[in-house]
Amino acid sequence: MEEASAQQQSSAFPAPPFYFQRYTTENLALLQRAKSEKEQSDSASPDLAKSLSKLPFPVLALEPPPPVQSGKYWQFGRPFDTQETLATLEQQGCQQLYPKGPIDRVKELKKLNHSAIFNFLELVHTLTTTPGEHYKRVDEIRMIFINMHHILNEYRPHQARETLRLMMQNQLQTKKQETEALKRTCADLRSKLSALRALKEQRQRSLATINSSTVAPGDSDVEMTSSPDHQTQDSKASLVGASSSGYPGAENHIDANSRRTMDRLMTMVDSIE
């Protein structure tokens, strides 16, 4: 059965692996019971143990296998490594022209560059003298180019990690900036809100004092009682943006303040949204 499945894995439409036959409803129910039994107590009940032993495979094999941590794994019939490493030149079957171990990449690349040109010159010479022997030079040039490309390929993992690091630094910076901006706007808004609340209490207190103070009869009465209305009207008028009607002294000052507060409040709310 294993061999048949190995053959099928390389065909274009492979059949599903034979494991699918194990997933019957009864087996799945058994799996659930086994799992719950394991959580409650270590020993399984006798009838469960009997039905478990009837299965040709351990019941926990119905769970998906854990991911492969190390080494090789096979996918669709081909091997994959868990660690992607660049194959060295010897593994690829090419001679390594630059010395082994840590090297000065720039110097080695320059040397290879010069030897490439030199070998081309020698190639042209051999073509003029003994064209039959050109293949030696051609191979040499090929080797040089392969070496150059290999040195460059060794840079790539380093470059990938560097790019990742830079991206993460950028993300960090943006997040910090955004947090700062948010905190500043919140602090501003809070101060404005407290100013508004103070204003409201002031108004309520002045309302209370006006209502409780002894009033002169007649027009002054009307005047007095209408002033708190005017005050509230003015603060609402400033909210809408209209100018207040001419009013003496302190009330004007309070209303101008409240108008400014309201305007700034509206802009803050817009910026948050």
Partner 1 sequence: MDRLTQLQDAIDKLALLFVSSLDHLSKNAPLVALNPDVPVVTTEHGMPKEILQASAQELALDISRQAKELETLIENLPPITQTPEEQTLDLELLAQENDRATEEYEAAVLEAKKLLQEVTQALREIAMDQSNT
- Our finding on whether 136 is near partner 1 (CB under 8 A) is no
Residue that is written with structure tokens 């129910």 in the block: 29
Residues numbered 171-210 forming contacts with partner 1, rule: CB under 8 A:
171-172, 175-176, 178-179, 182-183, 185-186, 189-190, 193, 196-197
User: Around 27, how many Cα atoms within 13 Å sit in the side-chain half-sphere?
Assistant: 17
- Considering only 148, 244, 255, 259, the residue that binds partner 1 (CB under 8 A) is 148
Helix (H, G, I), strand (E, B) or coil at 31: helix
- Our finding on whether 233 is near partner 1 (CB under 8 A) is yes
CA distance 184 to 189: 9
- Our finding on whether 225 is near partner 1 (CB under 8 A) is no
Residues numbered 16-35 forming contacts with partner 1, rule: CB under 8 A:
none
CA distance 7 to 2: 9
Q: How far apart are the first and last CA of the chain?
A: 64
- Our finding on whether 239 is near partner 1 (CB under 8 A) is yes
Number of neighbours of residue 44 by Cβ within 10 angstroms: 16
162: CB partners within 8 A, 6+ apart: none
| Residue 217 Cβ vs partner 1, minimum distance, rounded to whole Å | 24
Q: Give the Å distances, CA to CA, from 202 to 198, 199, 221, 236.
A: 6, 5, 21, 16
How would you label 46-55 residue by residue, b for 16+ Cβ within 10 Å and e otherwise?
A: eeeeebbeee
- Considering only 30, 31, 141, 143, the residue that binds partner 1 (CB under 8 A) is 141
Which residue stretch of 9-17, 21-29, 71-79, 156-164 sits at the interface with partner 1 (rule: CB under 8 A)? Answer: 156-164
- Our finding on whether 125 is near partner 1 (CB under 8 A) is no
CA distance 196 to 257: 9
In terms of CB distance, is 82 or 185 closer to partner 1? 185
In terms of CB distance, is 38 or 184 closer to partner 1? 184
- Our finding on whether 133 is near partner 1 (CB under 8 A) is no
CA distance 112 to 108: 6
* DSSP code per residue over 63-96: SPPPPP-SSEEEETTEEEESS--PPPHHHHT---
- Considering only 18, 155, 220, 263, the residue that binds partner 1 (CB under 8 A) is 155
Q: Please give the single-letter amino acid code of residue 261.
A: T
Contact flags string 83-112 toward partner 1, x per CB under 8 A: ----------------------xx--xx--
CA distance 83 to 75: 15
| Residue 267 Cβ vs partner 1, minimum distance, rounded to whole Å | 11
* Total of residues contacting partner 1 (CB under 8 A): 56
- Our finding on whether 52 is near partner 1 (CB under 8 A) is no
> Which positions touch partner 1 (CB under 8 A)?
105-106, 109-110, 113-114, 116-117, 120, 123-124, 127, 141, 145, 148-149, 152, 155-159, 161-162, 164-165, 168-169, 171-172, 175-176, 178-179, 182-183, 185-186, 189-190, 193, 196-197, 229, 232-233, 235-236, 239-240, 262, 265, 268-269, 272-273
